[in-house]
Amino acid sequence: MRAQPKASHFIDGDYVEDKDGTPFDSVYPATGEVIARLHAATPAIVERAIAAAKRAQPEWAALSPTARGRILKRAADIMRTRNRELSELETLDTGKPIQETIVADPTSGADSFEFFGGVAAAALNGDYIPLGGDFAFTKRVPLGVCVGIGAWNYPQQIACWKTAPALISGNAMVFKPSENTPLGALKIAEILVEAGLPKGLFNVIQGDRETGPLLVNHKDVAKVSLTGSVPTGRKVYAAAASGLRHVTMELGGKSPLIVFDDADLESAIGGAMLGNFYSTGQVCSNGTRVFVHRTIKHAFLARLKERTDAIVIGDPLDDATQMGPMVSMAQREKVLDYIAKGREEGARLITGGGIPNAVNAEGTYIQPTVFADVTDDMTIAREEIFGPVMCVLDFDDEDEVLVRANGTEFGLSAGVFTADLTRGHRVADRLEAGIVWINTYNLCPVEIPFGGSKQSGFGRENSLAALNHYTELKTVYVAMSPVQSPY
């Protein structure tokens, strides 16, 4: 098995196996090949991971932020040096083409370690509050043991985006990757140890929806950060609430992307394609409802079809491949069901809609698909598909499109393409979303906050804002004169 790790879990600085856990296979989606065989964590493994994190955390928190940052920055350097190897593993784990993983996965994780490693020395300060003689000051204190639970679309990135702000703030982390993509996080654990991270501060345990609750409900866990779907988010939030634990919820979306008639057409089409087809459409922030002004609809669709049909689908480890398979057979079935529903409900198929020829038949490939004449009430316009299915909807004016764009329970992201700067800002202001892009789509550098509103979640990853979600404020009041007591 070509990606078999030394053991399933990584606890207290080393690999750990417990064969009492339910066995499961890690499958390379491009061929159906079993590339690793692992075991889900037993309750004993969960206990061991949380105990290791709890034991290691106080000493780590007592270090200066600069000392902690030095280790994270070293981890960033190691990740960049080993980018090819990590990207290949990410490709095996997810099926995403190497062309993407080489620029978007380990490198994004490394950015996160570098950013938080660098800024924390200045960003973890508190305030001094003068009180006319007396004074108070605030400290940013870590929360303790944090749990991260990941989705399968960006396994390495998600692990790093949660772990970098958690560690720099003085916390310990127990991370559970998605059962579909268990491999990348183990490599990150190895790299953090190589960078000098004391043992016990970053632990990886495997498992699925049965394992997650053992972490979320554990009495020694102070915070849970989930990346996953809205239904999972509801369950995890409810469980965390029963223990009054802190939460960050990075959930799903059905984001609007609005293309006005004055937009640069090639750029708007490029943005819409990136925002629907990158990672075979398995991106939470994708702009899957593309509202195109009626006057440019025909030109938009014709060129979109031309460019979509030219996408190179194939072996993800081939540098020329632009689109790989979906993460699993189950996910492909789900997407094909949505495509069938789109047809049934009267959407017009422009291109795609099936399984491509000339690729490995055991792989979970699917064609990039475009529907036109989609209306707001269709299932494909309302539900998150999480596959390469673009819905193009027509609109006539700005007020109308804003009401329709906001007419969803989700609020993760949104985009607008227009040459009119004032309109761009006006529309961005009115779109109900955690992040809005003007004249681009899906760019998420570590310097900017990322996260959703409405049912898409709350809390923010990346940027200085993430530090607020891994620390709490402690206030110290200092009296400078004797107590004046009426008693």
User: Whose Cβ is closer to ligand NAD: residue 352's or residue 459's?
Assistant: 459
Residue nearest to ligand NAD (CB): 212
Stretch near ligand NAD under the rule CB under 6 A, chosen from 37-45, 124-132, 147-155, 477-485? 147-155
**Which one among 93, 111, 250, 315 touches ligand NAD, defined by CB under 6 A?**
250
Residue pair 314/321 in contact (Cβ under 8 Å)? The answer is: yes
Please name the helix (run of DSSP H) or strand (run of DSSP E) that holds residue 134, with its range, or none. Answer: strand 134-142
Q: Rounded distance, CA 204 to CA 377, Å?
A: 42
Catalytic residue, from 114, 179, 250, 384: name it: 250
Upper half-sphere CA count for residue 274 (Cβ side, 13 Å): 16
**Which one among 212, 256, 281, 424 touches ligand NAD, defined by CB under 6 A?**
212
Q: Does residue 386 bind ligand NAD (CB under 6 A)?
A: yes
250 assigned to active site:
yes
Q: Does residue 277 bind ligand NAD (CB under 6 A)?
A: no
| Residue 396 C-beta: closest distance to ligand NAD, Å | 30
| Residue 327 C-beta: closest distance to ligand NAD, Å | 8
| Residue 232 C-beta: closest distance to ligand NAD, Å | 3
Q: Rounded distance, CA 409 to CA 404, Å?
A: 12
Q: Smallest Cα–Cα separation from 413: which of 363, 457, 445, 473?
A: 457
Q: Rounded distance, CA 371 to CA 377, Å?
A: 14
3-state SS, residue 335: helix
Q: What is the largest CA-CA distance in the chain?
A: 88
Upper half-sphere CA count for residue 89 (Cβ side, 13 Å): 23
Q: Rounded distance, CA 113 to CA 72, Å?
A: 5
**Which one among 216, 402, 414, 416 touches ligand NAD, defined by CB under 6 A?**
216
| Residue 104 C-beta: closest distance to ligand NAD, Å | 13
Residues belonging to the chain? 487
| Residue 291 C-beta: closest distance to ligand NAD, Å | 20
Q: Rounded distance, CA 93 to CA 96, Å?
A: 8
For the chain, state the CA radius of gyration. 24
The amino acid at 316: P
Q: Does residue 384 bind ligand NAD (CB under 6 A)?
A: yes
Q: Does residue 227 bind ligand NAD (CB under 6 A)?
A: yes
461 assigned to active site:
yes
Q: Does residue 178 bind ligand NAD (CB under 6 A)?
A: yes
DSSP symbols for 54-106: HHHHHHHHTS-HHHHHHHHHHHHHHHHHTHHHHHHHHHHHH---HHHHHHHSH
Q: Does residue 208 bind ligand NAD (CB under 6 A)?
A: yes
Binding mask 342-371 for ligand NAD (x = CB under 6 A): ------------------------------
Q: Does residue 151 bind ligand NAD (CB under 6 A)?
A: yes
Catalytic residue, from 160, 284, 391, 444: name it: 284
Stretch near ligand NAD under the rule CB under 6 A, chosen from 45-53, 97-105, 205-213, 471-479? 205-213
**Which one among 91, 107, 232, 328 touches ligand NAD, defined by CB under 6 A?**
232
Q: Rounded distance, CA 133 to CA 36, Å?
A: 65
Instruction: Name the residues that contact ligand NAD, by CB under 6 A.
Output: 149-153, 176, 178-179, 208-209, 212-213, 216, 227-229, 232, 235-236, 250-253, 284, 384, 386, 412, 452
**Where in the sequence numbering do the catalytic residues fall?**
162, 250, 284, 461
